[in-house]
Amino acid sequence: MKRWYSAFVVLPLVLNGCSLAPDYKRPEAEIAPHFKEDGVWRTAAPMDDKAKGDWWHYFNDSTLTHLEAKIDTANLQLGIALARHDQALAIANENNAQLYPEIDATGNYLTNRQSLNRPLRSSSLNYSVYGNTAIGAGINYELDFWGRLRNQAKSSALLEEASRADIETVRLSQQALLASIYFQLRGYDTQIAIFDDSIKAYEREFVIIKNRHDEGVVSGLDVARAESLLDQVKGQLQGLLAQRAIYEHAIAVLVGENPSTFRIEPVTSFSETYPNLPTILPSQVLQRRPDIAAAERRVASANAEIGVAKAAFFPTINLFAFGGYQNSGYGNLLSVPNSTWALGPLAFLPIIDEGRRQSLVDLANAQNKELIVTYRQTVLTAFKEVEDSMASLNHLQTELTEQSKATIAAKTTYDLAVNRYLEGASSYLEVIDAENTKLQTQIAETKVRSAQMIAVVSFVKAIGGDW
């Protein structure tokens, strides 16, 4: 018995050396030596004292920092990713357990009645009711000659690693989405403040024009125009308030709170902090982005699955051992005469399956090819996102400079138009035109500033998070 037990321990180590999976090679992807849009980047030294992922601290916004902290604890999309990882881990543990012998205990305490008309029943048997009592334990172990179980365990372990990378992908995506929506909301706060100031100015103008009309200095047409402009701006303000509410509700969902009770206090001005962004090479993006890591792990998993499919062409061989006691009655069960045992190999090999196993190999190869293409697509998309965010930031900075000049010029034009009107040198139409231009340039500048901050967030997301 000791010799058989030793066989269970030693034989798997000797026999389990074969694998039918192809040698794995990381998929190749074309990598440029540098990014096309990296010409104006400032070098930023790594900040090792910052926790990995806390990139939003660079914006120096306490409200944003408070909201981002809730992503890890309350974001539902992240919760889904964590649950999916738990599933992947459970599958990996299950497949890994199949590499080891399984030990089972059995037992029964039965009373059986034999049919009087059972074929080949002995005529000398004068009873048809008998007991069947048994107890024992068995060991079953599949000899993994062809690496089926090992490749299966390897595949599921790689999928668990991919699922872990998926968690980081979702976390970064939700953090970036929250920051982008937050900067949109603060942009609307600034626009609302501009409209509030404009409405107050238009109301003062309306009072002045109405008084001048009462004095007979201007016509009723100017009064009507001033009133129309005031009402128009008030209406536009309501649209901005509605948009702000929509973004506030979106943030509530991201941080796992009820939109009906969630609130972010508005601000009348928003002074954004523009962080120093790092110089980064395309090869570094491959190392930093969790979605690329997940895609590569899935390719490796699919490669192992090819070995699983190929192993089906070879016999499945199990070592089986059982020992216990069995009695036809209910007497002294645990006695030497009642002992029973079984020991030996079990083999199974399908002979004719109409191409089923070959189809599974073809399927595994096709899935592997698909995931290789998916990996390359993920890499190209990552490079595109970095280039897009760099291009946006490069051109938005120039746009902001020009738009700021336009805002200053529009304010000067407005002041001149009002003075000319009060002096009687121009009509109120010039004032209205100057007012509209001033308001639109202020709003345009605010939108560019928001777009610039959102582009920073997009860049951080594109390079894989904190640097």
Query: How far apart are the C-alpha atoms of 123 and 369, rounded to whole Å?
Result: 67
Confidence check: pLDDT of 164 > 80: yes
Share of the chain above pLDDT 70, in %: 87
Q: Check residue 274 and report its DSSP letter.
A: -
47 found inside a domain: no
Higher pLDDT, 151 or 113: 151
| pLDDT level of residue 41 (50, 70, 90 thresholds) | very low
Q: Check residue 221 and report its DSSP letter.
A: H
165 found inside a domain: yes
Confidence check: pLDDT of 373 > 90: yes
Q: Counting beta carbons within 10 angstroms of the beta carbon of residue 118, is it exposed (0 to 12), middle (13 to 18) or buried (19 or more)?
A: exposed
Q: What does the block give as tokens for 254?
A: 């991201």
373 found inside a domain: yes
90 found inside a domain: yes
Q: What is the pLDDT of residue 127?
A: 59
Q: What is the pLDDT of residue 18?
A: 72
328 found inside a domain: no
Q: Which range of residues forms the domain containing residue 163?
A: 53-110+143-180+280-313+356-461
Confidence check: pLDDT of 37 > 60: no
Q: pLDDT tens digits for 175-217?
A: 999 999 999 999 999 999 999 999 999 999 899 899 988 888 8
Higher pLDDT, 116 or 51: 116
96 found inside a domain: yes
Provide the number of structural domains found in the chain. 1
**Which candidate, 234, 228, 235, places its Cα nearest to that of 206?**
228
Q: What is the pLDDT of residue 330?
A: 65
Confidence check: pLDDT of 67 > 60: yes
Query: Given the structure tokens 């991919």, which residue do they identify?
Result: 162
Query: How far apart are the C-alpha atoms of 218 and 27, rounded to whole Å?
Result: 78
| pLDDT level of residue 46 (50, 70, 90 thresholds) | very low
Q: What is the pLDDT of residue 131?
A: 78
Query: How far apart are the C-alpha atoms of 455 and 183, rounded to whole Å?
Result: 10
Confidence check: pLDDT of 27 > 50: yes
83 found inside a domain: yes
Confidence check: pLDDT of 289 > 50: yes
**Which candidate, 349, 365, 356, places its Cα nearest to that of 304?**
365
| pLDDT level of residue 9 (50, 70, 90 thresholds) | very low
| pLDDT level of residue 268 (50, 70, 90 thresholds) | confident
| CATH code for the domain in which residue 431 is found | 1.20.1600.10
- If you average pLDDT over every residue of the chain, what do you get? 86
The mean pLDDT of 357-381, rounded to a whole number, is: 94
Confidence check: pLDDT of 151 > 80: yes
**Which candidate, 24, 294, 20, places its Cα nearest to that of 150?**
20
Confidence check: pLDDT of 303 > 90: yes
Confidence check: pLDDT of 145 > 50: yes
Query: How far apart are the C-alpha atoms of 444 and 185, rounded to whole Å?
Result: 15
Higher pLDDT, 22 or 428: 428
Confidence check: pLDDT of 170 > 60: yes
Q: Check residue 116 and report its DSSP letter.
A: T
Q: pLDDT tens digits for 74-127?
A: 999 999 999 999 999 999 999 999 999 999 999 888 887 777 766 666 655 555
DSSP string, 355-380: THHHHHHHHHHHHHHHHHHHHHHHHH
**Which candidate, 239, 182, 185, 194, places its Cα nearest to that of 445?**
194
Q: What is the pLDDT of residue 83?
A: 97
SS (H, E, C) 177-220: HHHHHHHHHHHHHHHHHHHHHHHHHHHHHHHHHHHHHHCCCCCH
302 found inside a domain: yes
Higher pLDDT, 42 or 192: 192
